Amino acid sequence: MLPSDAEDMINPTSLPHLWSEKFLPPSRFVWRHGLRPDTNTEMVFYKKSVRRGTEKVVVQKRYQGERMSGGAEKVVCVTGASGYIASWLVKLLLQRGYTVNASVRDPNDPKKTEHLLMLDGAKERLHLFKADLLEEGSFDSLVDGCEGVFHTATPVYLSANNPQAELIEPAVKGTLNVLRSCAKVSSVKRVVITSSMAAVVYNGKPLTPDVLVDETWFSDPAFCEESKLWYMLSKTLAEKAAWEFSKENGIDMVAMHPGWVSGPLLQPIINTSLEPFLKLAKGAESIPFMSPRWVDVRDVANAHILAFENPSASGRYCLVGRVLQFFEFVKLMHELFPDINIPEKCGDDHPFASSYMVSRERAESLGLNFTPVEVTLKDTFESLRASNFFNI
Ligand SMILES: NC(=O)c1ccc[n+]([C@@H]2O[C@H](COP(=O)([O-])OP(=O)(O)OC[C@H]3O[C@@H](n4cnc5c(N)ncnc54)[C@H](OP(=O)(O)O)[C@@H]3O)[C@@H](O)[C@H]2O)c1
């Protein structure tokens, strides 16, 4: 618990030894933190709107002696915090007692921040930072003082007019940008990056029922490029660059590879992997593109935390609860949602048409229990309905 006077309005000039140019936040949501040597108090600075149009500097004091041991009260950070997976990650981290530095691109957009600020524990332990993947040094203050770095931010679109600028550069340069910030500080013990099964399965090998995909599989950049799989290429190149940089710079990195993520959403904006569910709920005439590699968003967030907390975690982790075939999906949908009209056809080139297996062994070795797909599907549609994305 923070002391009752954790949040005081202060006059910045009353802390001349700390309040220098170095500590002035460039924008009102960017925080600085440091140890006040005379009182051994961790000081966190930010600016807060007091009345419309006015701002005051607020300092939050955290007394070192009151920190809890273990995972609780450790400082970690999450990039792209307003996103679908990251919002769950922030929620679970706060629930476990972590202090979370969260980066967003636009801290003034309530659609990107309000759902985070409303989370339990956010008032005391969530700090928002403004950062952009393409801005050099943008993540320096975010990672400074953090033990764990969760890098989730990347553009997630399955088509692009200019794939290089829209997908590949932010993914690759952005990942290196974040890792460069990590390499500058000694506090970072482990970096967990959110890669994807997109960086695992796209290598041209046939995906037949007898095939077991596991962490030894790597997508082939040339295959992705020839097949114009631009998002898959961005994730493959970003992961490759991340491993190279981490090895060269002695960073302890772990990569998580979720399949197609669904489950309830916390953010008010629909993200790419939930779009097909909304299309189905609104009466799509054919099955929209989605991969048959299912995983629940809560499992993905949980796996990231387990990979940070488990000292022996290393390398890559496929996160796929189940591979569904088309007929299984249709049957489940009919059972769970008789009101929704599910298209009965699925083209030969649709990802649902292939059937193979993905190893759960490494993910389960972290202590992850995958949520049954029935529960995920039910919670996905219920969440979309509750958030008024559709009414049936
Ligand atoms: N959803 C899936 O099925 C799935 C599966 C496997 C892997 N993943 C991976 O999981 C991660 C999160 O995906 P998601 O589904 O949660 O997507 P999402 O909801 O679209 O979140 C992506 C986040 O990245 C941020 N971002 C994009 N471009 C940025 C930039 N130039 N600078 C800073 N931030 C930027 C976005 O910020 P804004 O809010 O400002 O746009 C957003 O917060 C991604 O790395 C993705 O590749 C997702």
Average pLDDT over residues 260-287: 92
Paired tokens of 139:
């993540």
* pLDDT at residue 143 in the model: 97
Kindly tell me if the per-residue pLDDT of 19 is higher than 70. no
Query: pLDDT for 239-270, tens place per residue?
Result: 999 999 999 999 999 999 999 999 999 999 99
What six digits make up the tokens of 2? 């923070």
CA of 238: how far to CAs of 41, 75, 87, 285, in Å? 38, 25, 22, 35
Characterize 235-259 residue by residue with b for buried, 16 or more Cβ atoms within 10 angstroms of its Cβ, and e for exposed: bbbbbbbbbebbeeeebebbbbbbb
Contact 340, 280 (CB under 8 A): yes
Name the token pair of 374: 């029935």
Taking the chain, what is the end-to-end CA distance rounded to the nearest angstrom? 43
**Ligand 1 proximity of 234 Cβ (cutoff 6 Å):** no
Are 150 and 194 spatial neighbours (Cβ–Cβ below 8 Å)?
yes
DSSP secondary structure string for all residues of 116-135: HHTSTTHHHHEEEEE--TTS
Give residue 189 CA to ligand 1 midpoint distance, Å: 23
pLDDT top residue among 51 and 297: 297
**Residue ranges in the chain assigned as alpha helix (H):** 84-95, 110-117, 122-125, 140-143, 163, 169-184, 221-226, 230-249, 275-281, 297-309, 326-336, 361-365, 373-386
Minimum-distance ligand 1 atom for the alpha carbon of 82: 43
Ligand 1 pocket test: pick from 79, 106, 114, 152 the residue with the most ligand atoms within 8 Å of its Cβ. 152
More confident site: 73 or 387: 387
57-66, 69-78, 267-276, range with greatest mean pLDDT: 267-276
More confident residue, 286 or 21: 286
Q: Are 130 and 27 in contact (CB under 8 A)?
A: yes
Q: What is the pLDDT of residue 392?
A: 56
Q: Which of 155-159, 283-287, 301-305, 375-379 has the lowest mean pLDDT?
A: 283-287
- Alpha-carbon torsion (225, 229, 232, 235), positive or negative: positive
Give the percent of the chain with pLDDT over 90. 67
Lowest mean pLDDT among 148-152, 213-217, 329-333: 329-333
Alpha-carbon distance of 365 to 367, in angstroms, equals 5
Q: At what angle do helices 297-309 and 84-95 cross, to 10 degrees?
A: 50
Q: Identify the weakest region by mean pLDDT among 65-69, 172-176, 183-187, 291-295.
A: 65-69
61 pLDDT more than 90 = no
The closest residue, in CA terms, to atom 19 on ligand 1 is: 83
Query: pTM of the entire structure?
Result: 0.84
CA angle 55, 60, 64 (to 5 degrees): 165
Point out the ligand 1 atom lying closest to the alpha carbon of residue 231.
47
Q: Mean of the per-residue pLDDT values for the chain?
A: 84
Top-confidence residue, 244 or 336:
244
pLDDT confidence tier of residue 350, bands split at 50, 70 and 90:
confident
pLDDT of residue 71: 52
Q: Would you state the pLDDT for residue 68?
A: 31
Q: What is the rounded CA–CA span in Å between residue 387 and residue 315? A: 37
Q: Kindly report which listed range (15-19, 79-83, 137-141, 367-371) carries the lowest average pLDDT score.
A: 15-19
- The residue among 164, 187, 191 whose CA lies nearest residue 178 is 191
> Residues 102, 162, 285, CA angle at the centre, nearest 5°?
85
Is pLDDT above 90 for 166? Answer: yes
Stretch (H or E) spanning 316: strand 315-319
Q: Give the pLDDT band of residue 287 (cuts 50, 70, 90).
A: confident
Q: How far is the CA of 155 from the centre of ligand 1 (A)?
A: 5
Name the least confident of 59-73, 113-127, 194-208: 59-73
* CA 270 – ligand 1 centroid, Å: 12
Q: What is the pLDDT of residue 328?
A: 86
pLDDT band for 21, please (50, 70, 90 cuts). Answer: very low
